[in-house]
């Protein structure tokens, strides 16, 4: 154990976070996301599992160490509700609150159609799967500069 590092951030996730540079993207997702399949296409090329942890908790822990990109309009992307472009599910507001609190400002979150989200996730640095049951708990975070 190390002091000051949230214990939900396992060694593999910490390693991936340390390897990332500004502009790299990190996917945090629920257990329903095809994470293993998509992870093979990422820079890290393997899935990072954070078992026993939900999206809100992991988002809060990651964002204590991970600045969001201030050079893009929407440094966070999420999956749209299929068949309902304006649809909302509770996890959207939960993660929005967590990112706004971590950044100390209102952060724009962009909604992407399901298959567009999958293609964007393939371009990410790494995919981190939580134990969150979802649905629609799929978010892409763009790393900023410290």
Q: Which residue has the tokens 């978010």?
A: 139
Reply yes or no on whether 69 is catalytic.
yes
C-alpha distances (whole Å) from 135 to each of 64, 67, 74, 112 are 25, 26, 22, 15
Residue of 24, 30, 49, 69 marked active site: 69
Q: Where are the beta strands (DSSP E) in 1-146?
A: 25-29, 48-49, 76-79, 109-112, 126-129, 138-142
Contact 62, 26 (CB under 8 A): yes
Does the annotation count 44 as an active-site position? no
22 is a catalytic site residue: yes
Residues acting as catalytic residues: 22, 69, 118
């Amino acid at each position: 154990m190390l002091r000051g590092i949230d214990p939900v951030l396992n060694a593999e996730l910490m390693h991936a976070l340390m390897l990332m540079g500004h502009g790299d993207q990190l996917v945090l997702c629920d257990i329903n996301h095809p994470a293993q399949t998509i992870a093979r296409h990422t820079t890290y090329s393997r899935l990072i599992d954070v078992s026993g942890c939900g999206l809100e908790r992991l988002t809060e822990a990651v964002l204590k160490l991970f600045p969001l990109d201030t050079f893009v309009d929407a440094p966070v992307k999420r999956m749209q509700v299929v068949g309902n472009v304006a649809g909302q599910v509770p996890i959207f507001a939960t993660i929005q609150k967590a990112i706004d609190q971590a950044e100390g400002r209102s952060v724009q979150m962009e909604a992407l159609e399901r298959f567009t989200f999958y293609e964007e996730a393939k371009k990410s640095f790494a995919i981190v799967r939580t134990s969150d049951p979802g649905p629609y708990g799929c978010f892409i975070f763009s790393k900023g500069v410290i």
